[in-house]
Each structure stands twice: as structure tokens, then as C-alpha cells.
Amino acid sequence: LQVIAGVEPRVAAAIGAELADQRESLKLIASENYASPAVLLAMGNWFSDKYAEGTIGRRFYAGCRNVDTVEALAAEHARELFGAPHAYVQPHSGIDANLVAFWAVLAHRIEAPALERAKARQVNDLSEQDWFELRRELGNQRMLGMSLDAGGHLTHGFRPNISGKMFDQRSYGTDPETGLLDYDAVRRTAQEFRPLILVAGYSAYPRLINFRIMREIADEVGATFMVDMAHFAGLVAGKVLTGDFDPVPHAHIVTTTTHKSLRGPRGGMVLCHEDLAEQVDRGCPMVLGGPLPHVMAAKAVALAEARQPEFADYAQRIVDNAQALAEGLNKRGATLVTGGTDNHLVLLDVSGYGLTGRQAEAALLDGGIVTNRNSVPQDPNGAWYTSGIRLGTPALTTRGLGVAEMDEVAALIDAVLRETKPGVTAQGKASKAQHVLDESVASRVAAQAADL
């Protein structure tokens, strides 16, 4: 920090303040975590100065041998960890990984037959007219994904995102009674809509998805089955999600972020079978510019960490903690979407406290508990105010908190929300959040601070 302070002290101060905030609060944002010092250090180094467009061994720049090494290592760890035939580790984020996957599927499903039909070698050899006609004839650009208020993600074909402009989108929701995914309803919609891509994956669904059934549905309608496991990749890596609940053996293509439950650097990744590998590897230049070698180095380190036996233990504790948190809230009379959780997140409907999600989020933040507001299914308050709070356990699990502390966390959340009247904040709870942390197993963040 002193080095940075010598150039721009305000940045150094903000970094120090961020460390303090992250140490002193209860971080319950389901998409956040604490990467290890090894991951952070692999990301902050001279690799960030290097350009390396292309793929391993086929770069458009000279001097890329060290980048080749780290990219190959990250890809190898990803293949081994997830049991995937092919891994592409260049995407800079989850949204980039999804864009790469969408274009790879489009290229595979439309471009390849178009070239064959026109006896052309490259898309550039086709006239504009031929290309558009072939595209119209060969490919519907329809995507079916989970609706936003059921927990789906913006990148799964929704209007404000580029995916909503690339695809005609339709969504499947959850059963209004149970809040659970209704596979028969997904099947009916798929049969009627006949999507090119069926997407499974979510940001705010607290239950598991049976990927075997989803693949069957995709096969019945001739769709490519894509899973976005951004949120639960850590649970797949830690072998908590296996069999029908592990997306990798069932999907044609899988995307993920690397920074959520997987606990790596901010970034994305695509896993696929060999038949899509060539199109996926064209992510740069199709969608991406130069890769970020420093982030690929950090991905390699994080994936190596995820292959250690301790990671499986961490992944199991994430779910144990989420279930303990849900139980703690349930026993205090809170309303949870689907009544509980099978994964790393809990969706708390705060309307019973007489609050909107926005009010609850602000009150909890005042109490030192960092969460995010989130829509609940059929949310009457819309996407800005919302009626829900999303709570995730990966970060607190990394810090060593266990099921006993989760009951205390649930008690704190319930107390803050009960005491909150719209317009009046719940000052003074921060010290209680700190107490839970102080009482927990020695904090990993404190160790990081010492290391840094």
C-alpha cells in the first residue's frame, strides 16, 4: 500500500478501507468470496503487461511462452477438476464466457452447415445475401432460460443484455406453490418454442437442478444444452454436486465464473466436448480481445487449490452453513423461497417484516451485514425495490464460520429486520456482526492482511 500511496494516496486509502470493510462485516453476498493470497499474488504481477491474442502455441504476438505455460496449466487443471474434455480459460468474466459459448453454438449450428451448403471455406467467402438467407433457413436464434424472477441471469437472453438482442428469448419459471423448478412445464415450453439453446443455471435459485432431465428435454427438441454454473461451480468442483446434479457430463457446453463459490480471481471459463472446442477457442477474436495472462495465472492457482482435498470439505461446509442459516431463519418465523436450500444460497422474502428488499438491504448494511436485495418469484415490488434478500455462505465459510455461528447470524438478521421501520436505520448492530466474526475460527482475511 505504501508504494501505491506514493503515487495516488487516495487509491491506497480506498484499498485499505476496503480490506477493513471486508474484515469487519459479515459478507453474505452469494457471489462473493475471499480469494487466497496465492490467487491474489498470481494476479498482481508482470503478466498484466503482456499481450497474447490467439490460443496456446498459436499467438498473434511474439514472446508468449510464459503465457502459454499458465494458460495450459489453467486449462489442464480445469479439465481434470471438472472432468471436461476441453476448457477455454480466456474469458474475462462470466458474461464474456456466456458470449463465447453463445457464439460458439451459433457457429457450430449455423455457420458450419452454411459453409458446407455453399461449398465455401470461410464465412467471408459467402456473399452477404447468401449468409443471411442460410442463417434464416438453418438457424432459429431462440433461447429458453430460467426467468429472472425465478433466479435466472440477465445473460440468459434478457433484453437489457446483449443476449436478449441476439436471441428471441422465452423463459421457464418455477411452480407458484412450491417455488421449485417444474420440469414438465419446461418440457411443454421447449416443445412449443423449439429453442436453439436451452440454458440452465441461476443466480438466485436455492435448490438443485436435475441436469439429466434438462438434457433429455434439450434432446427431445434438438436444442443445444448449456449450463451456466457461475454460482455453484465451487460445489461441482468440491464434488458436493454429483450424478444428475453435476452439469458437466450432461451439458453440451458449460460456462462459469471463477470468482464466486470457486474462489478464484474474477473471470470466466468455458468447458465443452471436443466437437465444440474449435468454435469455443475462437472466443478471441470473435468476442474477446487479448487475454489477461495475470488472471489466467491466478485461475491456474485457484483451480490447483480446488483440486486439494480441503476444497471438498469447504464445499460441503458451504451447503451445511446455508442449511443452518435457513434453519435459523425458519425457526424465527422468517419466510424463505422454497422453504430452505440445497445449495449455497438462501432467498429470504422480507415482506413479512413489512419491508422491501431495498429497505432490508440498507438496514442490514447498517448492522454490518452485507447482502443484496433480490426479486422473489412473482415479485410485486419489481427488480429495483424487490421483496427479497439473497444470502450466500461461501465467503463466511472461507472465513471459517460454521453451523453454530450461522444460527447467530440468522438471529442477527432477524433482529435487525424486526427492529427496522422504513426510514429508521438499525445503527449499532455493527458491533454485533463484529462479535460473530471475532468469536469465529481465526479469520482468513486477517491472515491475508498479514501476508500482504
| Binding region for ligand PLP (CB under 6 A) | 31, 93-95, 98, 153, 155, 201, 203, 228, 230-231, 257, 268
Q: Could you give the angle at the alpha carbon of 390 between the alpha carbons of 394 and 156, nearest 5°? A: 90
Q: Of the two residues 195 and 368, which places its CB atom closer to ligand PLP in the complex?
A: 195
Catalytic residue list contains 228? yes
- Of 109, 260, 390, 429, the catalytic one is 260
Q: Is 92 annotated as a binding residue?
A: no
Taking the complex as a whole, how short is the minimal distance between the CB of residue 174 and ligand PLP, in angstroms? 16
Catalytic residue list contains 8? no
Taking the complex as a whole, how short is the minimal distance between the CB of residue 121 and ligand PLP, in angstroms? 34
Catalytic residue list contains 133? no
Q: Which residues face 256 on adjacent strands?
A: 269
Length of the chain, in residues: 452
Q: Of the two residues 54 and 201, which places its CB atom closer to ligand PLP in the complex?
A: 201
| CB-nearest residue to ligand PLP | 94
Q: Is 252 annotated as a binding residue?
A: no
Q: Which residues face 86 on adjacent strands?
A: 272
Taking the complex as a whole, how short is the minimal distance between the CB of residue 142 and ligand PLP, in angstroms? 20
Q: Of the two residues 64 and 101, which places its CB atom closer to ligand PLP in the complex?
A: 101
Using CA of residue 97, residue 247, residue 275, residue 121, what is the dihedral sign? negative
Catalytic residue list contains 59? no
Return the biggest CA–CA distance within the chain: 72
- Of 224, 255, 257, 393, the catalytic one is 257
Instruction: State the Cα–Cα distance between residues 155 and 98, nearest whole angstrom.
Output: 7
- Of 24, 32, 53, 407, the catalytic one is 53
Taking the complex as a whole, how short is the minimal distance between the CB of residue 336 and ligand PLP, in angstroms? 20
Q: Is 234 annotated as a binding residue?
A: no
Q: Of the two residues 203 and 356, which places its CB atom closer to ligand PLP in the complex?
A: 203
Cis peptide before 285 (omega within 30 of 0): yes
Q: Is 152 annotated as a binding residue?
A: yes
Taking the complex as a whole, how short is the minimal distance between the CB of residue 153 and ligand PLP, in angstroms? 4
Q: Of the two residues 95 and 253, which places its CB atom closer to ligand PLP in the complex?
A: 95
- Of 111, 149, 228, 405, the catalytic one is 228
Taking the complex as a whole, how short is the minimal distance between the CB of residue 234 and ligand PLP, in angstroms? 13
Catalytic residue list contains 79? no
Taking the complex as a whole, how short is the minimal distance between the CB of residue 395 and ligand PLP, in angstroms? 14
Catalytic residue list contains 53? yes
Instruction: State the Cα–Cα distance between residues 149 and 171, nearest whole angstrom.
Output: 10
Q: Is 452 annotated as a binding residue?
A: no
Nearest partner of 202 among 300, 87, 342, judged by Cα: 342
Q: Residue ranges for the binding site for (6S)-5,6,7,8-tetrahydrofolate?
A: 148, 152-154, 274
Q: Residue ranges for the binding site?
A: 148, 152-154, 274
What positions carry a catalytic annotation?
51, 53, 228, 257, 260, 266
